[in-house]
Amino acid sequence: MSREDPHDLLAMVFARPREALAAARALLADGRGPYESSIARQALGILHREFGDLEAAIGELRHAVRLARRSGSPDRETDVLATLGIALLQSGRTRAGLSALDQAATRADGTTRARVLFRRAGARWILGRHGPALDDLRDAVPALLAARDTVWAARALTLRGHVQLALGAVQAADADFRTAQDMLGPTRQEHDSAVAVQNRGVAAFRTGDLPAALALLDEAERSFHSLGTPMFDLVGDRCAVLLAAGLARDALEHADGGLRLLARLRGQATRRAELLLIAARAALQSGDPATAGERAGEARRLFARQHRAWWSEHARLIVLQAEHATPDVPARRTALGEARRLAARLAALGSPEVWQAHLVAGRIALALGEPGVAERHLARAADVRHKGPATSRAGGWLAEALRAEAAGEPRRLLHACRAGLALIEEHRLTFGSSELHALATAQGAELVTLAQRHLLREGRPRRLLAWTERWRATSLAVPAVSPPEDGELLARLAALRQAEHLLAQARQDGAASAAALERDRSRLESRVRSATLHAKGQSSGGRERRDDDRTGRLLDALGGGRLAELVAVDGTLHVLLCGGGTVRRHTAGPMERAVAEVEFARSRLRRLAYERDPDQGELHDLGARLERAVLGPVAGLLGEEGPLVVVPPSTLHTTPWGLLPSLRRRPFTVAPSAGAWLRARSAPRPDGGRIVLVRGPGVAHADREVREIAGLYAQADRDVRWDVPWDVSLLEAGRSTAPAVLAAIDGSLLAHLAAHGTFRADSPLFSSLHLDDGPLTGYDLERLRRAPHHLVLSSCDSGQMAAVGADELLGLATALLRLGTAGIVASVVPVNDETAVPVMLGLHDGLRRGLGLAEALCRARGDDVSFIAIGAG
């Protein structure tokens, strides 16, 4: 800071906050006069206001106003008064804050007045008073540009961009953000430059480019972190993007973290209200309406005290949405009146979310049996289907579908459902991340249910199958994005393996370093996941065409076999039995009972897995009970010849299917969808006969397992006929590292991994197999150029996948199926390592004799119920 010009201190506040803090304290320690001391107190007040204690900020700024008044400089006094006005408003003292800003605007002139008008525009934007904010900016922006006040002009353009965004003018906002970034480029205002990157992320989000938005917000966060400046509006921006990407749980955790930090810093009350609102949105999208209503209610009360009508009405919207989404809570007639009034108020405020108020009003009216009122509101909500981002337009098509259902117009209903799903599919194709592909389907769940409900009433099982397939395991149908040679991501994955390896050792030794290593692992996981979320998707040209004859192709492919597709509609589980050229529907029973029986069976099998000779009578009874819940009468209709494929909904994929009496002694496969089975069945087989056997650390009997399997393929058996010679690679202790295993299995005919596994329900693509250098995760497998044609995983729970999105799955198996693996043998329950060895030997003996996976597993299984074949057998 120049001693001759103390104003340099104010320019330093955002650019180099730590230096500014030290310089302000040094200036005060020098005992300067009231003018210079006023600048120092103002700088401290801004630092406290933005990055620390708001009450301390107000104290410093009031002191600065008194010093400015003593200095006899009206210009100095009005500048500090405007800064104080913002702090008062952010503390919730709206009237006092606006009064201070109005006084400053009245007294100031020249460039100082333009800066005051910019601040008042910011206050009005915070309050949701967008018209008056634009009025102030119309005067401030030209004046600042004419004065060549570059930094303040860029800030004013940035603010104008945010006001435009609030009013739905995305292109105008983006133009302002880009101009502001260009202006800040030559300056030393690192903080403002980081804000410009943040705003570009917001603009990318509003134009629908979520991967770019996440990348830009991450870049901005790194800059703010290096400057030591926590930015709570960045928390809100990131949460909004995470919600649009389907990452509602992440958004809720992020918002809650921001709220905790804000409370610790005694920060701005206005920010607290905004973070509560975004947390409410996240809770609602996470399926937690109780938490959503609680957070939104608290936010609304804060907004009301702060006189922020625009924000208060948006909080009220979430309160109503949460109430309507709460199970077993009857619709209130008073709620309909509230929703109607809310829609009118949001329209008057110019909110782009007014359609959501009409949608909730229409839903409440339908529940109350008032179709006329519902039609009026749903029609208004449906208007948005022709404008705005894809996710909003899909919401408009949902409103149109609800209108059609209420009017009894099935063709219009199905058209609306089809159009809405097409928009969501278009939105999903912008993602390169398989996780985002899966999660983004959640928005289409209600559209599919509306179509399924209609087709169920109409008794159209063939079309019911087609509509179920339209939105089941769709992420597997999107071609995998070829991973770039991302050295940074590879380094992070390697560092994660090392951290996990060290953590396991520390836990085993009881070392005090375990807690720090746990934090390191979480940090590395966050960075790996963040990098993958930035990946952009391919164009729709690479997408599989969902033509109308898929059911016909499916029936042709089955031949004399059967496919049982399980479908849950409105809490009832149905089985669509396909085969013999027909599709027939059967009712299995309540979905709730099926889920309960699956959990009961899994808990019993966890205990029995560690018994050398489990009671076969108990296993039979357990299986029969489970079979009645998940298959009902279809168990006796599965036939005895040809392939048998079971296609459960994602929530039933952890079912131990081998336990069912009708399946224990016959070959069968389990597939995420009928379409996935068809694709796996036609997956091209590699030219060579490369077989890879991997022995992971710490697995009892693994040496025997892989060596005896290798011996099977080495035998000169006259009865075995194979069109290519086998080339067997054996990776044993010390050699089974992640890079070596990935290189070996890439494009192989068959890979067998005898390694312990860990299933991560909280983050399924971090599910892993334990190798010599640490975990091999789903993220590692996604970087394969060519998946192994067949894969055998002999460890516990290696076939488990998490149910996400509408009806999607994520886990190790899905990572490989998406890349083109034809079939996988894995377990969905704990495995007894000793008894698993003969099953694996029998499986490979069948495979070397030319049997398919399902047939070979059936012959090898004996009394084992742990392993299943996934994909095509």
pLDDT at 811 over 50: yes
Is pLDDT above 90 for 466? yes
**318-345: average pLDDT:** 90
3-state secondary structure of 815: helix
Query: pLDDT for 690-738, tens place per residue?
Result: 999 999 998 888 889 999 999 998 874 545 555 667 889 999 878 999 9
pLDDT number for residue 541: 44
| Tens-place pLDDT, residues 4-53 | 577 778 878 777 778 888 888 988 888 889 999 999 999 998 888 877 67
Tokens representing 232 are 């709570």
pLDDT 10s digits, 624-666: 999 999 999 999 999 777 789 999 999 999 999 999 999 988 9
Q: Are 285 and 443 in contact (CB under 8 A)?
A: no
Local confidence band at 479 (pLDDT 50, 70, 90 cut-offs): low
Q: What is the CA radius of gyration of the chain?
A: 31
Q: What percent of the chain has pLDDT over 90?
A: 55
Q: How many percent of the chain have pLDDT more than 70?
A: 96
Question: Whose CA is closest to 306, among 276, 339, 263?
Answer: 276
Could you give the CA distance from residue 268 to residue 302 in angstroms, rounded to a whole number? Answer: 12
Q: Which residues pair with 563 in a beta bridge?
A: 578, 645
Residues 6 or more apart whose CB falls under 8 angstroms from that of 221 comprise 231, 234, 238
**Backbone dihedral region of 328: left (phi > 0), alpha (psi from -120 to 50 degrees) or beta?**
left
The DSSP secondary structure of 299-324, one letter per residue, reads HHHHHHHTT-HHHHHHHHHHHHHHHH
pLDDT per residue as tens digits for the range 40-92: 999 998 888 877 677 888 999 999 999 999 999 999 999 999 999 999 988 88
Q: Alpha-carbon distance 367 to 361, whole Å?
A: 10
- Please state, in angstroms and rounded to a whole number, the distance separating the CA atoms of residues 52 and 62: 17
